[in-house]
């Protein structure tokens, strides 16, 4: 998914709504987390695709026209949502991309986001090379091993990782560059939107559990936006509003199933806390975790 966003739109991501609402507390700019790990697609990619053989890269103008370093691979004119979050949480530097992170910097977090990626590995293949969710988790497993080496203590590393923040923003390409792109992929889907969303959720659940087993406990997980309004889908629909509505409806099924899944995981993964960004409330504060759990 490729577009040039605006900074105001991304600032909305700076607000989190805690699913366990009884423990919601207002915190602004409080650095509660020793590290921040980010997974996803072009909405969080900060340069992992720069050296890949893909059309899904943004290391050229006009991308980055308002970013201090210029074009870096961010699909935006300036900062991404995760950059605002990192700043708001007190990190001195932006979380670096996995592709170029220095070993000593992994202790404060890594961004694994890759434009074009999806929950399913084949999503985004029409765009070229990318790191799908499975590959991003494999990269994180490598980073966890490096952190264990730096700490020299596996037990402490697990304690350390449990205090970190994990953001996941993925799924749009499973619709834009998979389900609704059969001609490009040369393999039309015979699944209904309900069946496809169920398959996505099953895979997504497996990956969340894998991250949990690797030490993740504090998650922020975005819903899929109304992808029918993306430029790619509007072009696909030839401005047919019923077509746009169909695409948005399909992704809304996934969002509903994801909410149910997070409730289930919240009950089953006893140490985990799940948070969803809320795009419908003022950008005046950061709702964040309460206490040291």
Domain chopping of the chain, boundaries: 7-288
Q: What is the pLDDT of residues 4-55, one digit of tens each?
A: 333 333 333 443 433 233 333 333 344 579 999 999 999 999 999 999 999 9
Residue 131 has φ and ψ, to the nearest 5°, of -105, 105
Q: What is the pLDDT of residues 101-152, one digit of tens each?
A: 999 999 999 999 999 999 999 999 999 999 999 999 999 999 999 999 999 9
The answer to which of 37-41, 86-90, 137-141, 216-220 has the lowest mean pLDDT is 86-90
What's the gap between Cα 165 and its chain centre?
A: 12
Kindly state the average pLDDT of the residues 236-250. 83
Residue 132: burial class (beta carbons within 10 Å; 0-12, 13-18, 19+)? buried
Report how far apart, in Å, the C-alpha atoms of 114 and of each of 130, 135, 159, 170, 221 are. Answer: 6, 10, 28, 10, 16
CATH class as words, domain 7-288: alpha beta
């Amino acid at each position: 998914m490729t577009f040039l966003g605006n900074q105001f739109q991304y600032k909305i991501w700076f607000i989190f709504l805690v699913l366990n609402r009884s423990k919601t507390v207002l915190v602004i700019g409080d650095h509660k987390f020793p590290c921040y790990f980010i997974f996803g697609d072009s909405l969080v990619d900060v340069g992992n695709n720069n050296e890949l053989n893909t059309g899904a890269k943004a290391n050229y103008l006009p991308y980055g026209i308002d970013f201090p370093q210029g074009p870096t691979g961010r699909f935006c004119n300036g900062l991404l949502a995760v950059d605002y979050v990192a700043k708001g949480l007190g990190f001195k530097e932006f979380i670096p991309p996995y592709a170029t992170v220095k070993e000593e910097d992994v202790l404060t977090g890594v961004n694994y986001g890759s434009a074009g990626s999806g929950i399913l590995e084949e999503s985004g293949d029409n765009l070229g090379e990318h790191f799908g969710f499975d590959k991003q988790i494999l990269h994180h497993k490598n980073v966890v091993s490096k952190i264990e080496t730096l700490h020299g203590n596996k037990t402490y590393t697990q304690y350390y990782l449990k205090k970190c923040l994990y953001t996941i923003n993925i799924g749009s390409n499973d619709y834009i560059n998979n389900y609704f792109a059969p001609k490009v992929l040369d393999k039309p889907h015979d699944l209904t939107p309900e069946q496809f969303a169920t398959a996505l959720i099953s895979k997504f659940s497996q990956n969340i559990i894998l991250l949990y087993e690797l030490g993740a406990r504090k998650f922020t997980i975005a819903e899929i936006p109304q992808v029918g309004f993306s430029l790619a889908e509007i072009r696909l629909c030839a401005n047919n509003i019923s077509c746009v509505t169909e695409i948005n409806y399909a992704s809304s099924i996934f969002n509903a199933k994801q909410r149910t899944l997070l409730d289930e995981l919240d009950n089953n993964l006893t140490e985990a806390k799940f948070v969803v960004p809320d795009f419908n409330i003022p950008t005046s504060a950061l709702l964040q975790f309460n206490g040291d759990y």
